Amino acid sequence: MFKHFITLQWKAFVRSSSFGKSLGLKILMGFLALYFALLFLMLGLGLYPLLKEFYPGEEPLLMANQFLLSWFVLELVVRFMVQTLPVISIKPLLATPVPKKKVVDYVLVKSLFSFFNFLPLLVIIPFGIFTMYNSEMSTWSVMGWMVAVFALDLCVNYINFLLKKKFADNLKSLLPYVVLVAVFILLEYFGIFSISETFAFALDYVVENPLLALVPIIFLAGLYLWNRKVLESRFYLDESLRGKVQEVNTRDFGWTRKFGDIAPFLQLDLKLIWRNKRPRTLIFMSLILLGYGMIFYPEDNY
């Protein structure tokens, strides 16, 4: 059945009227993907020596655990802003005897082969190999750590799936969760409670007991089933045909009137940006990136 779905999507891509345009864009994206793959591979090859240099006397793998929670949170933000979820045109399938579980499973399994899930392997595998050959840790301990970290990364993929389905069209409903994350960051900053150390301690325990790598795998399976339940609940013909009823939210951007004759044109441009999802997301990403320097500013070296 999966092979049949892949064939259908390939035919839809090849027979599309915008095939040439899509092909050129995909080639460009391929070069961009190769660039990022090389960057992540260089990070994977250089991470062990860097941690050894900056933290002499400490085990690099255990030091890496201190930063993994921040990595996963940042990855979730990037995925939410950038990653496109796998899609399949389900309307033609709704009136056919194709089991909906098969379609849902195809979408969820396809998301595992995302380029975003491939990049962490370019860091995890080289770093794990360096650790095996240069530290006193057993091979099973390092392999258990690698499996656990990659499983957690796949969990981020499915968490992003849930967030996209629930909050993509209504970013305001995401605000309480953002506030919760901000509270944890403040607790971490003021030394009241360190969630990153707690997370690192859990991963250290996985290194000591490699069988505990099954816990992230079980968590991953739970997220998979949760996503499947959410998608199946929307896999109905009525759900597909029912139009969205939304209240029109008009903004006049009255503050632009002080710019004189060009004010109407500014208002039109701002309305177009605000009503379109992609430029609106770009604005939010730009605001987040403006605070990127605050990560390094408190350091004494800067």
From first to last of the 302 residues of the chain, give the pLDDT tens digit.
Answer: 656 656 755 565 555 555 555 666 777 878 888 998 999 999 999 999 999 888 888 889 999 998 898 899 889 888 887 887 766 556 666 666 777 788 788 788 888 888 889 999 999 999 999 999 888 888 999 999 999 999 999 999 999 888 887 766 566 667 777 788 788 888 877 778 888 888 889 999 999 999 999 999 999 999 999 988 888 877 765 554 455 555 555 566 777 777 778 878 888 888 888 777 777 777 777 777 776 666 666 666 65
Rounded to two decimals, the pTM is 0.74
Using CA atoms, how far residue 69 sits from 39, 48, 207, 225, 280, in Å, is: 21, 18, 16, 24, 28
The pLDDT score that the predictor gives to residue 165 is 75
Q: Tell me the CA distances in angstroms from 160 to 84, 121, 128, 213, 275, one per residue in order.
A: 10, 19, 26, 22, 23
Q: Are residues 159 and 217 in the same domain?
A: yes
Q: Is 109 found in the same domain as 26?
A: yes
User: Is 249 a member of any domain?
Assistant: no
Alpha carbon of 187 to those of 73, 196, 202, 226: distances in Å?
Answer: 16, 11, 19, 30
210 and 281 housed in the same domain: no
Same domain? For 81 and 168 the reply is yes
Domain range for residue 300? 255-302
Same domain, 211 and 266: no
**Structural domain includes residue 250:** no
What is the residue-wise DSSP string for 238-256? HHHHSPP---------GGG
Pick from 241, 228, 238, 243: which is nearest to 100 by CA?
Answer: 228
Domain-located, residue 248: no
Question: Could you say which of 191, 214, 242 is where a domain stops?
Answer: 242
164 and 291 fall within a common domain = no
User: What pLDDT sits at residue 241?
Assistant: 46
Q: Is the domain of 94 the same as that of 200?
A: yes
In a domain, 172, yes or no: yes
The confidence score (pLDDT) of residue 28 equals: 80
CB 159 within 8 A of CB 83: no
What is the C-alpha separation between 209 and 222, in angstroms, rounded?
Answer: 22
Residues 6 or more apart whose Cβ sits within 8 Å of residue 117: 153, 154, 157
Q: Tokens 């979730």 label which residue? A: 76
Residue 162 maps to a domain = yes
Residue 249: CA atoms inside 13 Å, Cβ hemisphere, count?
8
Choose the final residue of a domain: 218, 242, 266. Answer: 242
Residues 236 and 279 in one domain: no
In this structure, are 43 and 87 located in the same domain? yes
- Domain end, chosen from 197, 221, 242, is at 242
Based on the fold, state whether residues 174 and 281 are members of the same structural domain. no
Are 201 and 227 part of one and the same domain?
yes
Q: Are 155 and 215 in contact (CB under 8 A)?
A: no
Angle between helices 115-134 and 139-167 (to 10 degrees): 160
How many C-beta atoms lie closer than 10 Å to residue 176's C-beta?
Answer: 9
Query: Is residue 14 one of the residues assigned to a domain?
Result: no
Same domain, yes or no: 282 and 214: no
* CA–CA separation, 82 and 78 (whole Å): 6
Domain count along the chain: 2
